[in-house]
Chain A
Amino acid sequence: MSSLPSKAQAAAAKRSSAWWQDQVARVVVSIAGVSAIVLVMAIFIFVAKEGLGFALTDLKLGEFFTSTAWRPTSDEPTYGILALIAGTASVTGLAMLIAVPFSLGAAIYIGEFATGKTRETLKVLVELLAAIPSVVWGFIGLSIMNPLIIKLFDVPVGLNVLNAGIILGLMAAPIMATIAEDALKAVPDGYREAAEALGATRWQVIFKVVIPSAKNGLVAAILLGVGRGFGETMAVLMATGHSVNIPHSPFDAVRAMTATIASELGETAQGSPHYKVLFTIGIFLFLITFVINMLADIFVRGGFKIGKKRS
Protein backbone atom coordinates (compact mmCIF):
# COMPACT_ATOMS: atom_id res chain seq x y z
CA MET A 1 0.00 0.00 0.00
CA SER A 2 2.63 2.44 1.04
CA SER A 3 4.81 1.71 -1.99
CA LEU A 4 2.12 2.69 -4.49
CA PRO A 5 2.03 6.49 -4.12
CA SER A 6 5.82 6.68 -4.08
CA LYS A 7 5.95 4.72 -7.34
CA ALA A 8 3.43 7.07 -8.89
CA GLN A 9 5.42 10.00 -7.61
CA ALA A 10 8.60 8.57 -9.10
CA ALA A 11 6.85 8.07 -12.43
CA ALA A 12 5.60 11.65 -12.35
CA ALA A 13 9.07 12.91 -11.49
CA LYS A 14 10.54 10.89 -14.33
CA ARG A 15 7.92 12.13 -16.77
CA SER A 16 8.56 15.68 -15.74
CA SER A 17 12.32 15.30 -16.16
CA ALA A 18 11.75 14.04 -19.70
CA TRP A 19 9.40 16.95 -20.24
CA TRP A 20 12.00 19.43 -18.99
CA GLN A 21 14.66 17.79 -21.13
CA ASP A 22 12.39 18.21 -24.12
CA GLN A 23 11.84 21.90 -23.38
CA VAL A 24 15.54 22.61 -22.89
CA ALA A 25 16.44 20.74 -26.07
CA ARG A 26 13.83 22.72 -28.00
CA VAL A 27 15.32 26.02 -26.83
CA VAL A 28 18.96 24.98 -27.44
CA VAL A 29 18.23 23.60 -30.88
CA SER A 30 16.17 26.67 -31.84
CA ILE A 31 19.03 28.96 -30.85
CA ALA A 32 21.41 26.88 -32.98
CA GLY A 33 18.82 27.04 -35.77
CA VAL A 34 18.98 30.79 -36.04
CA SER A 35 22.78 30.82 -35.65
CA ALA A 36 23.26 31.01 -39.42
CA ILE A 37 21.27 34.24 -39.54
CA VAL A 38 23.17 35.65 -36.55
CA LEU A 39 26.51 34.74 -38.14
CA VAL A 40 25.72 36.34 -41.50
CA MET A 41 24.65 39.50 -39.68
CA ALA A 42 27.77 39.33 -37.50
CA ILE A 43 29.97 39.06 -40.60
CA PHE A 44 28.41 42.20 -42.04
CA ILE A 45 28.55 44.08 -38.74
CA PHE A 46 32.20 43.27 -38.00
CA VAL A 47 33.38 44.04 -41.53
CA ALA A 48 31.27 47.21 -41.63
CA LYS A 49 32.53 48.26 -38.18
CA GLU A 50 36.04 48.66 -39.57
CA GLY A 51 35.17 49.87 -43.05
CA LEU A 52 31.82 51.66 -43.14
CA GLY A 53 32.74 54.72 -41.08
CA PHE A 54 35.73 55.36 -43.29
CA ALA A 55 33.68 54.80 -46.45
CA LEU A 56 31.08 57.38 -45.38
CA THR A 57 33.43 60.11 -44.10
CA ASP A 58 36.98 60.16 -45.47
CA LEU A 59 36.53 58.14 -48.62
CA LYS A 60 35.25 59.88 -51.74
CA LEU A 61 32.87 57.20 -52.97
CA GLY A 62 32.73 58.69 -56.48
CA GLU A 63 36.48 58.41 -56.80
CA PHE A 64 36.40 54.98 -55.11
CA PHE A 65 34.26 53.46 -57.86
CA THR A 66 35.42 55.45 -60.90
CA SER A 67 39.15 55.99 -60.46
CA THR A 68 41.68 53.45 -61.63
CA ALA A 69 44.37 54.86 -59.35
CA TRP A 70 44.91 52.37 -56.52
CA ARG A 71 47.80 54.01 -54.65
CA PRO A 72 47.12 53.31 -50.97
CA THR A 73 50.74 53.61 -49.88
CA SER A 74 51.76 56.80 -51.68
CA ASP A 75 52.21 60.11 -49.83
CA GLU A 76 48.92 61.35 -51.19
CA PRO A 77 47.03 58.09 -51.28
CA THR A 78 44.24 57.55 -53.79
CA TYR A 79 41.77 54.72 -53.41
CA GLY A 80 40.23 53.94 -56.80
CA ILE A 81 39.08 50.37 -57.25
CA LEU A 82 37.78 50.55 -60.84
CA ALA A 83 40.81 48.62 -62.11
CA LEU A 84 40.34 46.04 -59.37
CA ILE A 85 36.67 45.65 -60.31
CA ALA A 86 37.74 45.30 -63.95
CA GLY A 87 40.27 42.67 -62.89
CA THR A 88 37.70 40.63 -60.97
CA ALA A 89 35.08 41.05 -63.71
CA SER A 90 37.40 40.11 -66.60
CA VAL A 91 38.67 36.96 -64.88
CA THR A 92 35.16 35.93 -63.77
CA GLY A 93 33.79 36.69 -67.25
CA LEU A 94 36.37 34.52 -69.00
CA ALA A 95 35.89 31.81 -66.38
CA MET A 96 32.14 31.78 -67.08
CA LEU A 97 32.75 31.60 -70.86
CA ILE A 98 34.56 28.35 -70.13
CA ALA A 99 32.57 27.05 -67.19
CA VAL A 100 29.00 27.64 -68.44
CA PRO A 101 29.14 25.46 -71.57
CA PHE A 102 31.29 22.81 -69.92
CA SER A 103 29.31 22.57 -66.69
CA LEU A 104 25.91 22.57 -68.39
CA GLY A 105 27.17 20.13 -71.03
CA ALA A 106 28.55 17.81 -68.38
CA ALA A 107 25.33 18.10 -66.35
CA ILE A 108 23.25 17.19 -69.41
CA TYR A 109 25.49 14.24 -70.22
CA ILE A 110 25.56 12.93 -66.66
CA GLY A 111 21.87 13.58 -66.03
CA GLU A 112 20.32 12.62 -69.37
CA PHE A 113 22.67 10.41 -71.38
CA ALA A 114 24.89 8.48 -68.98
CA THR A 115 23.49 5.47 -67.16
CA GLY A 116 24.46 3.07 -64.40
CA LYS A 117 28.14 2.77 -63.54
CA THR A 118 29.29 5.47 -66.00
CA ARG A 119 26.96 7.96 -64.40
CA GLU A 120 28.07 7.13 -60.84
CA THR A 121 31.75 7.29 -61.82
CA LEU A 122 31.36 10.64 -63.56
CA LYS A 123 29.47 12.07 -60.60
CA VAL A 124 32.21 10.95 -58.21
CA LEU A 125 34.91 12.44 -60.47
CA VAL A 126 33.09 15.78 -60.69
CA GLU A 127 32.71 15.77 -56.91
CA LEU A 128 36.43 15.10 -56.44
CA LEU A 129 37.20 17.93 -58.89
CA ALA A 130 35.20 20.34 -56.77
CA ALA A 131 37.25 19.38 -53.72
CA ILE A 132 40.66 20.56 -54.96
CA PRO A 133 41.68 23.47 -52.67
CA SER A 134 41.95 26.91 -54.23
CA VAL A 135 45.57 27.35 -53.14
CA VAL A 136 46.45 24.22 -55.14
CA TRP A 137 44.63 25.67 -58.17
CA GLY A 138 46.64 28.88 -57.70
CA PHE A 139 49.82 26.87 -57.59
CA ILE A 140 48.80 25.05 -60.79
CA GLY A 141 48.26 28.44 -62.46
CA LEU A 142 51.63 29.61 -61.25
CA SER A 143 53.71 26.57 -62.07
CA ILE A 144 51.96 24.61 -64.84
CA MET A 145 49.76 27.09 -66.75
CA ASN A 146 52.26 29.94 -66.65
CA PRO A 147 55.03 28.24 -68.70
CA LEU A 148 52.40 26.62 -70.91
CA ILE A 149 50.87 29.99 -71.87
CA ILE A 150 54.32 31.51 -72.47
CA LYS A 151 55.18 28.63 -74.79
CA LEU A 152 51.86 28.44 -76.65
CA PHE A 153 51.22 32.14 -77.25
CA ASP A 154 54.79 33.45 -77.25
CA VAL A 155 54.14 36.09 -74.57
CA PRO A 156 56.72 37.23 -71.97
CA VAL A 157 54.60 36.45 -68.89
CA GLY A 158 51.93 33.81 -68.52
CA LEU A 159 50.26 35.17 -65.39
CA ASN A 160 47.25 37.04 -66.78
CA VAL A 161 43.49 37.10 -67.37
CA LEU A 162 43.71 34.01 -69.57
CA ASN A 163 45.55 31.95 -66.95
CA ALA A 164 43.32 32.96 -64.02
CA GLY A 165 40.19 32.68 -66.17
CA ILE A 166 40.95 29.10 -67.18
CA ILE A 167 41.87 28.14 -63.60
CA LEU A 168 38.74 29.76 -62.21
CA GLY A 169 36.62 28.17 -64.94
CA LEU A 170 37.95 24.72 -64.05
CA MET A 171 37.30 25.46 -60.38
CA ALA A 172 33.75 26.70 -60.84
CA ALA A 173 32.60 24.17 -63.45
CA PRO A 174 32.26 21.10 -61.19
CA ILE A 175 30.20 22.99 -58.61
CA MET A 176 27.99 24.45 -61.32
CA ALA A 177 27.65 21.03 -62.96
CA THR A 178 26.50 19.49 -59.67
CA ILE A 179 23.85 22.17 -59.10
CA ALA A 180 22.73 22.04 -62.75
CA GLU A 181 22.45 18.24 -62.61
CA ASP A 182 20.26 18.57 -59.50
CA ALA A 183 18.04 20.98 -61.44
CA LEU A 184 17.75 18.50 -64.34
CA LYS A 185 17.00 15.67 -61.91
CA ALA A 186 14.19 17.73 -60.39
CA VAL A 187 12.29 17.65 -63.71
CA PRO A 188 9.66 14.90 -63.26
CA ASP A 189 10.21 11.77 -65.37
CA GLY A 190 6.58 12.08 -66.48
CA TYR A 191 7.58 15.06 -68.65
CA ARG A 192 10.23 12.99 -70.43
CA GLU A 193 7.92 10.01 -70.83
CA ALA A 194 5.11 12.20 -72.19
CA ALA A 195 7.45 13.74 -74.77
CA GLU A 196 8.86 10.35 -75.76
CA ALA A 197 5.32 8.98 -76.11
CA LEU A 198 4.66 11.76 -78.60
CA GLY A 199 7.59 10.51 -80.65
CA ALA A 200 10.22 13.03 -79.60
CA THR A 201 13.83 11.98 -79.97
CA ARG A 202 16.22 12.14 -77.02
CA TRP A 203 17.67 15.51 -78.01
CA GLN A 204 14.19 16.92 -78.57
CA VAL A 205 13.21 15.74 -75.09
CA ILE A 206 16.29 17.40 -73.62
CA PHE A 207 16.14 20.70 -75.49
CA LYS A 208 12.39 21.21 -75.80
CA VAL A 209 11.20 19.73 -72.51
CA VAL A 210 13.87 19.14 -69.86
CA ILE A 211 15.97 22.30 -70.26
CA PRO A 212 13.00 24.70 -70.44
CA SER A 213 11.54 23.08 -67.29
CA ALA A 214 14.85 23.25 -65.44
CA LYS A 215 15.66 26.76 -66.65
CA ASN A 216 15.43 28.42 -63.24
CA GLY A 217 17.74 25.88 -61.63
CA LEU A 218 20.24 26.24 -64.47
CA VAL A 219 20.26 30.03 -64.11
CA ALA A 220 20.84 29.57 -60.37
CA ALA A 221 23.79 27.28 -61.12
CA ILE A 222 25.34 29.94 -63.35
CA LEU A 223 24.71 32.68 -60.77
CA LEU A 224 26.35 30.66 -58.00
CA GLY A 225 29.32 30.13 -60.34
CA VAL A 226 29.57 33.90 -60.87
CA GLY A 227 29.39 34.44 -57.10
CA ARG A 228 32.15 31.93 -56.62
CA GLY A 229 34.26 33.70 -59.24
CA PHE A 230 33.86 37.07 -57.55
CA GLY A 231 34.80 35.62 -54.20
CA GLU A 232 37.71 33.38 -55.16
CA THR A 233 40.89 34.59 -53.52
CA MET A 234 43.98 32.38 -53.51
CA ALA A 235 43.82 31.09 -57.09
CA VAL A 236 43.20 34.60 -58.41
CA LEU A 237 45.96 36.03 -56.23
CA MET A 238 48.51 33.59 -57.62
CA ALA A 239 47.49 33.36 -61.30
CA THR A 240 46.52 36.90 -62.40
CA GLY A 241 49.94 38.53 -62.25
CA HIS A 242 48.61 40.91 -59.60
CA SER A 243 49.20 44.25 -61.31
CA VAL A 244 46.61 47.05 -61.14
CA ASN A 245 45.45 47.33 -64.70
CA ILE A 246 42.34 47.60 -66.88
CA PRO A 247 42.85 44.66 -69.23
CA HIS A 248 42.74 45.16 -73.00
CA SER A 249 43.51 41.59 -73.96
CA PRO A 250 43.47 38.21 -72.23
CA PHE A 251 47.25 38.45 -71.98
CA ASP A 252 47.20 41.50 -69.69
CA ALA A 253 47.95 40.99 -66.03
CA VAL A 254 45.22 42.21 -63.69
CA ARG A 255 44.49 42.31 -60.00
CA ALA A 256 41.27 41.24 -58.28
CA MET A 257 39.54 42.84 -55.31
CA THR A 258 39.85 39.71 -53.17
CA ALA A 259 43.54 39.33 -53.99
CA THR A 260 44.19 42.98 -53.07
CA ILE A 261 42.80 42.42 -49.58
CA ALA A 262 44.73 39.18 -49.19
CA SER A 263 48.06 40.65 -50.26
CA GLU A 264 47.88 44.05 -48.55
CA LEU A 265 46.07 43.47 -45.25
CA GLY A 266 49.14 41.93 -43.64
CA GLU A 267 51.23 45.02 -44.33
CA THR A 268 48.86 47.71 -43.08
CA ALA A 269 48.75 49.22 -39.62
CA GLN A 270 45.52 48.38 -37.84
CA GLY A 271 43.16 51.39 -37.94
CA SER A 272 45.05 53.21 -40.71
CA PRO A 273 43.12 54.51 -43.75
CA HIS A 274 44.67 51.78 -45.92
CA TYR A 275 43.50 49.12 -43.42
CA LYS A 276 40.01 50.60 -43.39
CA VAL A 277 39.71 50.89 -47.16
CA LEU A 278 40.47 47.17 -47.46
CA PHE A 279 37.50 46.50 -45.18
CA THR A 280 35.44 48.84 -47.38
CA ILE A 281 36.28 46.60 -50.36
CA GLY A 282 35.20 43.71 -48.11
CA ILE A 283 31.78 45.34 -47.58
CA PHE A 284 31.45 45.79 -51.34
CA LEU A 285 32.34 42.12 -51.97
CA PHE A 286 29.92 40.99 -49.26
CA LEU A 287 27.08 43.00 -50.80
CA ILE A 288 27.78 41.77 -54.36
CA THR A 289 27.85 38.12 -53.34
CA PHE A 290 24.80 38.64 -51.09
CA VAL A 291 22.79 39.97 -54.04
CA ILE A 292 24.00 37.18 -56.34
CA ASN A 293 23.09 34.50 -53.77
CA MET A 294 19.70 36.14 -53.19
CA LEU A 295 18.99 36.09 -56.94
CA ALA A 296 20.11 32.46 -57.18
CA ASP A 297 17.77 31.56 -54.31
CA ILE A 298 14.87 33.35 -56.02
CA PHE A 299 15.58 31.43 -59.23
CA VAL A 300 15.81 28.10 -57.40
CA ARG A 301 12.37 28.75 -55.95
CA GLY A 302 11.11 29.78 -59.37
CA GLY A 303 10.25 33.24 -58.05
CA PHE A 304 10.93 35.07 -61.29
CA LYS A 305 8.84 33.80 -64.14
CA ILE A 306 11.11 33.64 -67.12
CA GLY A 307 9.74 32.27 -70.32
CA LYS A 308 6.27 30.83 -70.52
CA LYS A 309 4.64 29.74 -67.32
CA ARG A 310 2.95 26.37 -67.37
CA SER A 311 -0.33 26.37 -65.52
Chain B
Amino acid sequence: MSSSFATTSLNEKNRLRERLFRGLFGLVTITLILPVIIILITLTVKSQGTISLSFFTEYPRNNMTEGGIFPALVGTLWLVAVALIASVPLGVSAAIYLSEYARDNWLTRAINLAIINLAGVPSIVHALFGLGAFVLFFNFGTSILAASLTLAVMTLPVVIVSTRESLQAVPQSFREACWNMGATRWQTIWRIVLPNSISGILTGVILEVSRTVGETAPIMFTGAALFLPFLPTSVYDQTMAMSLHLYIIATQVPGVPPSLPYSVALSLIGIVMVLNAASIALRTYLRGQKKW
Protein backbone atom coordinates (compact mmCIF):
# COMPACT_ATOMS: atom_id res chain seq x y z
CA MET B 1 0.00 0.00 0.00
CA SER B 2 2.61 2.49 1.09
CA SER B 3 4.82 1.45 -1.81
CA SER B 4 2.68 3.53 -4.17
CA PHE B 5 3.82 6.69 -2.38
CA ALA B 6 7.20 8.28 -2.67
CA THR B 7 9.45 6.84 0.01
CA THR B 8 9.91 9.58 2.54
CA SER B 9 12.20 9.21 5.52
CA LEU B 10 9.18 8.86 7.80
CA ASN B 11 7.82 6.01 5.70
CA GLU B 12 11.21 4.37 5.72
CA LYS B 13 11.31 4.56 9.51
CA ASN B 14 7.82 3.16 9.82
CA ARG B 15 8.56 0.26 7.57
CA LEU B 16 11.70 -0.56 9.51
CA ARG B 17 9.81 -0.35 12.77
CA GLU B 18 7.07 -2.59 11.42
CA ARG B 19 9.55 -5.19 10.26
CA LEU B 20 11.23 -5.01 13.67
CA PHE B 21 7.95 -5.60 15.51
CA ARG B 22 6.94 -8.41 13.23
CA GLY B 23 10.28 -10.11 13.80
CA LEU B 24 10.12 -9.54 17.55
CA PHE B 25 6.63 -11.01 17.95
CA GLY B 26 7.49 -13.90 15.67
CA LEU B 27 10.53 -14.59 17.83
CA VAL B 28 8.41 -14.46 20.99
CA THR B 29 5.98 -16.99 19.50
CA ILE B 30 8.79 -19.32 18.51
CA THR B 31 10.40 -19.01 21.95
CA LEU B 32 7.11 -20.10 23.46
CA ILE B 33 6.87 -23.21 21.30
CA LEU B 34 10.54 -24.16 21.08
CA PRO B 35 11.03 -25.42 24.69
CA VAL B 36 8.28 -27.95 24.20
CA ILE B 37 9.91 -29.38 21.12
CA ILE B 38 13.18 -29.58 23.05
CA ILE B 39 11.36 -31.28 25.93
CA LEU B 40 9.71 -33.82 23.65
CA ILE B 41 13.06 -34.68 22.09
CA THR B 42 14.72 -34.94 25.51
CA LEU B 43 11.98 -37.22 26.81
CA THR B 44 12.32 -39.45 23.76
CA VAL B 45 16.10 -39.60 23.98
CA LYS B 46 16.21 -40.21 27.73
CA SER B 47 13.60 -42.96 27.65
CA GLN B 48 16.29 -44.86 25.73
CA GLY B 49 13.92 -46.85 23.62
CA THR B 50 12.44 -48.68 26.61
CA ILE B 51 8.95 -48.15 25.22
CA SER B 52 7.88 -51.32 23.48
CA LEU B 53 4.70 -53.33 23.29
CA SER B 54 5.66 -55.26 26.42
CA PHE B 55 6.01 -51.96 28.32
CA PHE B 56 2.26 -51.53 27.94
CA THR B 57 1.33 -55.17 28.64
CA GLU B 58 3.54 -56.03 31.65
CA TYR B 59 2.96 -55.45 35.32
CA PRO B 60 5.51 -53.39 37.25
CA ARG B 61 8.03 -55.68 38.92
CA ASN B 62 10.55 -55.51 41.73
CA ASN B 63 8.98 -52.65 43.71
CA MET B 64 8.03 -50.76 40.53
CA THR B 65 11.65 -50.43 39.40
CA GLU B 66 11.19 -52.77 36.43
CA GLY B 67 8.51 -53.98 34.09
CA GLY B 68 5.68 -52.11 32.41
CA ILE B 69 2.66 -49.99 33.15
CA PHE B 70 -0.18 -52.37 32.27
CA PRO B 71 -2.31 -51.92 35.44
CA ALA B 72 -1.84 -48.13 35.35
CA LEU B 73 -2.93 -48.03 31.71
CA VAL B 74 -6.01 -50.17 32.37
CA GLY B 75 -6.80 -48.12 35.50
CA THR B 76 -6.67 -44.89 33.52
CA LEU B 77 -9.09 -46.42 30.99
CA TRP B 78 -11.49 -47.30 33.83
CA LEU B 79 -11.28 -43.81 35.30
CA VAL B 80 -11.85 -42.14 31.93
CA ALA B 81 -14.75 -44.45 30.99
CA VAL B 82 -16.65 -43.98 34.26
CA ALA B 83 -15.97 -40.21 34.24
CA LEU B 84 -17.37 -39.97 30.70
CA ILE B 85 -20.51 -41.94 31.60
CA ALA B 86 -21.17 -39.39 34.33
CA SER B 87 -20.15 -36.17 32.64
CA VAL B 88 -21.18 -36.48 28.97
CA PRO B 89 -24.98 -36.86 29.48
CA LEU B 90 -24.98 -34.14 32.14
CA GLY B 91 -22.70 -31.81 30.18
CA VAL B 92 -24.55 -32.24 26.88
CA SER B 93 -27.93 -31.68 28.61
CA ALA B 94 -26.60 -28.55 30.29
CA ALA B 95 -25.31 -27.30 26.95
CA ILE B 96 -28.71 -28.01 25.33
CA TYR B 97 -30.34 -25.94 28.05
CA LEU B 98 -27.90 -23.05 27.58
CA SER B 99 -28.07 -23.09 23.79
CA GLU B 100 -31.75 -23.94 23.16
CA TYR B 101 -33.77 -22.88 26.21
CA ALA B 102 -31.91 -20.27 28.27
CA ARG B 103 -32.85 -16.63 27.93
CA ASP B 104 -30.41 -13.81 28.46
CA ASN B 105 -31.15 -13.28 32.14
CA TRP B 106 -29.47 -13.40 35.55
CA LEU B 107 -29.83 -17.20 35.79
CA THR B 108 -27.95 -17.77 32.55
CA ARG B 109 -25.29 -15.33 33.65
CA ALA B 110 -24.98 -17.18 36.98
CA ILE B 111 -24.66 -20.52 35.14
CA ASN B 112 -21.93 -19.11 32.93
CA LEU B 113 -20.08 -17.77 35.94
CA ALA B 114 -20.43 -21.16 37.64
CA ILE B 115 -18.97 -22.90 34.57
CA ILE B 116 -15.97 -20.55 34.60
CA ASN B 117 -15.49 -21.21 38.30
CA LEU B 118 -15.86 -24.95 37.93
CA ALA B 119 -13.04 -24.81 35.39
CA GLY B 120 -10.99 -22.43 37.53
CA VAL B 121 -11.21 -24.10 40.94
CA PRO B 122 -7.76 -25.55 41.75
CA SER B 123 -7.51 -29.27 41.06
CA ILE B 124 -6.51 -29.93 44.66
CA VAL B 125 -9.72 -28.27 45.86
CA HIS B 126 -11.61 -30.62 43.55
CA ALA B 127 -9.69 -33.40 45.32
CA LEU B 128 -10.84 -32.12 48.74
CA PHE B 129 -14.40 -31.98 47.41
CA GLY B 130 -14.17 -35.51 46.03
CA LEU B 131 -12.85 -36.78 49.34
CA GLY B 132 -15.50 -34.97 51.40
CA ALA B 133 -18.43 -35.68 49.08
CA PHE B 134 -17.92 -38.96 47.21
CA VAL B 135 -15.49 -40.88 49.45
CA LEU B 136 -16.95 -39.91 52.84
CA PHE B 137 -20.46 -38.44 52.51
CA PHE B 138 -21.80 -40.78 49.82
CA ASN B 139 -19.61 -43.52 51.29
CA PHE B 140 -18.18 -44.78 48.00
CA GLY B 141 -14.81 -45.20 49.75
CA THR B 142 -11.58 -44.63 47.88
CA SER B 143 -12.72 -46.19 44.63
CA ILE B 144 -12.83 -45.76 40.88
CA LEU B 145 -16.38 -44.44 41.31
CA ALA B 146 -15.32 -41.64 43.69
CA ALA B 147 -12.24 -40.72 41.63
CA SER B 148 -14.14 -40.74 38.34
CA LEU B 149 -16.98 -38.61 39.70
CA THR B 150 -14.39 -36.10 40.96
CA LEU B 151 -12.81 -36.06 37.49
CA ALA B 152 -16.27 -35.75 35.91
CA VAL B 153 -17.10 -32.66 37.96
CA MET B 154 -13.74 -31.15 37.10
CA THR B 155 -13.97 -31.70 33.35
CA LEU B 156 -17.69 -30.93 33.02
CA PRO B 157 -16.98 -27.36 31.77
CA VAL B 158 -15.00 -28.77 28.81
CA VAL B 159 -18.04 -30.75 27.63
CA ILE B 160 -20.53 -27.96 28.29
CA VAL B 161 -18.54 -25.24 26.53
CA SER B 162 -17.63 -27.27 23.43
CA THR B 163 -21.12 -28.75 23.08
CA ARG B 164 -22.76 -25.36 23.46
CA GLU B 165 -20.49 -24.01 20.72
CA SER B 166 -21.37 -26.76 18.28
CA LEU B 167 -25.11 -26.50 19.05
CA GLN B 168 -25.00 -22.77 18.43
CA ALA B 169 -23.23 -23.35 15.13
CA VAL B 170 -26.38 -25.04 13.77
CA PRO B 171 -28.18 -22.31 11.79
CA GLN B 172 -31.34 -20.92 13.35
CA SER B 173 -33.20 -21.48 10.06
CA PHE B 174 -32.90 -25.28 10.55
CA ARG B 175 -34.83 -24.94 13.80
CA GLU B 176 -37.39 -22.55 12.34
CA ALA B 177 -38.07 -24.89 9.42
CA CYS B 178 -38.63 -27.72 11.86
CA TRP B 179 -40.95 -25.71 14.11
CA ASN B 180 -42.99 -24.68 11.08
CA MET B 181 -43.60 -28.36 10.35
CA GLY B 182 -45.29 -28.58 13.74
CA ALA B 183 -42.45 -30.26 15.60
CA THR B 184 -42.07 -29.60 19.30
CA ARG B 185 -38.98 -27.94 20.68
CA TRP B 186 -37.62 -31.29 21.86
CA GLN B 187 -38.33 -33.04 18.54
CA THR B 188 -36.42 -30.25 16.83
CA ILE B 189 -33.46 -30.68 19.17
CA TRP B 190 -33.46 -34.48 19.00
CA ARG B 191 -34.01 -34.89 15.25
CA ILE B 192 -32.36 -31.79 13.80
CA VAL B 193 -30.03 -29.91 16.15
CA LEU B 194 -28.20 -32.84 17.79
CA PRO B 195 -27.60 -34.86 14.58
CA ASN B 196 -26.18 -31.73 12.97
CA SER B 197 -23.78 -31.06 15.83
CA ILE B 198 -22.86 -34.56 16.97
CA SER B 199 -19.37 -34.46 15.49
CA GLY B 200 -18.64 -31.11 17.15
CA ILE B 201 -19.74 -32.63 20.44
CA LEU B 202 -17.42 -35.56 19.78
CA THR B 203 -14.37 -33.27 19.44
CA GLY B 204 -15.23 -31.81 22.83
CA VAL B 205 -15.51 -35.27 24.35
CA ILE B 206 -12.08 -36.22 22.97
CA LEU B 207 -10.64 -33.07 24.57
CA GLU B 208 -12.26 -34.05 27.85
CA VAL B 209 -10.72 -37.52 27.65
CA SER B 210 -7.30 -35.94 27.18
CA ARG B 211 -7.81 -33.71 30.24
CA THR B 212 -9.01 -36.65 32.31
CA VAL B 213 -6.02 -38.82 31.38
CA GLY B 214 -3.55 -36.23 32.65
CA GLU B 215 -5.18 -35.17 35.92
CA THR B 216 -3.36 -36.33 39.01
CA ALA B 217 -4.27 -34.30 42.10
CA PRO B 218 -8.04 -35.05 42.01
CA ILE B 219 -7.50 -38.82 42.08
CA MET B 220 -4.72 -38.95 44.70
CA PHE B 221 -7.09 -39.22 47.67
CA THR B 222 -10.23 -40.44 45.98
CA GLY B 223 -9.37 -43.73 44.33
CA ALA B 224 -5.91 -44.07 42.81
CA ALA B 225 -3.49 -46.43 44.51
CA LEU B 226 0.30 -46.41 44.56
CA PHE B 227 0.62 -50.01 43.50
CA LEU B 228 -1.79 -52.87 42.95
CA PRO B 229 -0.71 -56.28 41.65
CA PHE B 230 -4.13 -56.89 40.07
CA LEU B 231 -6.65 -55.14 37.86
CA PRO B 232 -9.86 -53.55 39.19
CA THR B 233 -12.96 -55.67 38.72
CA SER B 234 -15.66 -53.15 39.67
CA VAL B 235 -16.10 -49.41 40.16
CA TYR B 236 -15.79 -49.93 43.92
CA ASP B 237 -12.16 -51.07 43.60
CA GLN B 238 -9.13 -48.84 43.80
CA THR B 239 -6.90 -48.65 40.79
CA MET B 240 -3.50 -47.54 39.57
CA ALA B 241 -3.42 -44.64 37.10
CA MET B 242 -0.75 -43.49 34.66
CA SER B 243 -0.56 -39.90 35.89
CA LEU B 244 -0.17 -40.87 39.55
CA HIS B 245 2.22 -43.67 38.56
CA LEU B 246 4.53 -41.10 36.98
CA TYR B 247 4.46 -38.98 40.16
CA ILE B 248 5.10 -42.02 42.36
CA ILE B 249 8.05 -43.46 40.46
CA ALA B 250 9.55 -40.00 39.87
CA THR B 251 9.45 -38.91 43.52
CA GLN B 252 8.56 -41.68 45.96
CA VAL B 253 10.27 -44.89 44.88
CA PRO B 254 14.03 -45.33 45.45
CA GLY B 255 16.19 -47.16 42.94
CA VAL B 256 14.12 -46.52 39.84
CA PRO B 257 16.31 -46.66 36.72
CA PRO B 258 16.40 -43.16 35.19
CA SER B 259 14.90 -44.22 31.87
CA LEU B 260 11.69 -45.62 33.43
CA PRO B 261 9.96 -42.36 34.48
CA TYR B 262 10.91 -40.83 31.11
CA SER B 263 9.15 -43.70 29.39
CA VAL B 264 6.02 -43.22 31.50
CA ALA B 265 6.08 -39.45 30.90
CA LEU B 266 6.53 -39.99 27.17
CA SER B 267 3.63 -42.50 27.05
CA LEU B 268 1.39 -40.11 28.95
CA ILE B 269 2.29 -37.13 26.77
CA GLY B 270 1.92 -39.35 23.68
CA ILE B 271 -1.62 -40.39 24.60
CA VAL B 272 -2.64 -36.80 25.35
CA MET B 273 -1.07 -35.44 22.15
CA VAL B 274 -2.68 -38.12 19.97
CA LEU B 275 -6.09 -37.40 21.51
CA ASN B 276 -5.70 -33.66 21.02
CA ALA B 277 -4.40 -34.04 17.48
CA ALA B 278 -7.39 -36.28 16.72
CA SER B 279 -9.75 -33.68 18.12
CA ILE B 280 -8.12 -30.89 16.10
CA ALA B 281 -8.04 -32.99 12.92
CA LEU B 282 -11.71 -33.89 13.33
CA ARG B 283 -12.58 -30.24 13.85
CA THR B 284 -10.63 -29.12 10.77
CA TYR B 285 -12.20 -31.89 8.67
CA LEU B 286 -15.69 -30.93 9.81
CA ARG B 287 -15.10 -27.28 9.03
CA GLY B 288 -14.31 -28.34 5.47
CA GLN B 289 -17.40 -30.58 5.29
CA LYS B 290 -19.93 -28.00 6.51
CA LYS B 291 -22.54 -27.31 3.89
CA TRP B 292 -23.85 -24.14 5.46
Contacts and interface: CB of A to CB of B under 8 A. Distances in A.
B186 interface: yes
Given A34-B111, A39-B153, A139-B261, A29 B33 contact: no
Nearest to A144: B42
Interface stretch (B14-22, B67-75, B170-178, B227-235): B14-22
Given A135-B246, A135-B247, A293-B116, A33 B269 contact: no
Interface string B203-246: 00000001101111100110000000000000000000001101
B129 interface: yes
Contacts of B275: 131
B48 interface: no
Contacts, number: 273
A139 to B, nearest CB: 5
Contacts of A191: none
B253 to A, nearest CB: 13
A203 interface: yes
A131 B125 contact: no
B185 A177 contact: no
A110 B28 CA distance: 11
Given A39-B118, A128-B273, A297-B113, A262 B18 contact: no
Contact of A30 (B22, B24, B101): B101
B124 A282 contact: yes
B111 A132 contact: no
B143 interface: no
Given A102-B28, A144-B39, A131 B122 contact: no
Per DSSP, chain A at the interface is helix
Given A128-B273, A142-B250, A43 B125 contact: yes
B109 to A, nearest CB: 9
A308 to B, nearest CB: 24
Contacts of B124: 231, 233, 258, 261-262, 282, 285
Interface of B: 1-2, 14-15, 17-18, 21-22, 24-26, 28-29, 31-33, 35-36, 39, 42-43, 46, 90, 93-94, 96-98, 100-102, 107, 110-118, 120-129, 131-133, 136-137, 153, 156-157, 160, 184-187, 189-190, 210-211, 213-217, 220-221, 243-244, 246-247, 250-251, 258, 261-262, 265, 268-269, 272-273, 275-277, 280
Interface of A: 18-19, 21-22, 25-26, 28-30, 32-37, 39-40, 42-43, 46-47, 49-50, 101-103, 105-106, 108-110, 113-114, 122, 124-129, 131-136, 138-140, 142-144, 170, 173-174, 177, 196, 201-204, 206, 224, 227-228, 230-234, 238, 258, 261-262, 265-266, 270, 278-279, 282, 285-286, 289-290, 292-294, 296-297
Given A40-B121, A43-B118, 14 more contacts: A32-B94, A33-B94, A47-B132, A102-B28, A105-B29, A106-B25, A106-B29, A133-B243, A135-B247, A139-B246, A203-B17, A231-B125, A232-B122, A238-B251
5 contacts: A30-B97, A34-B111, A105-B24, A177-B32, A203-B14
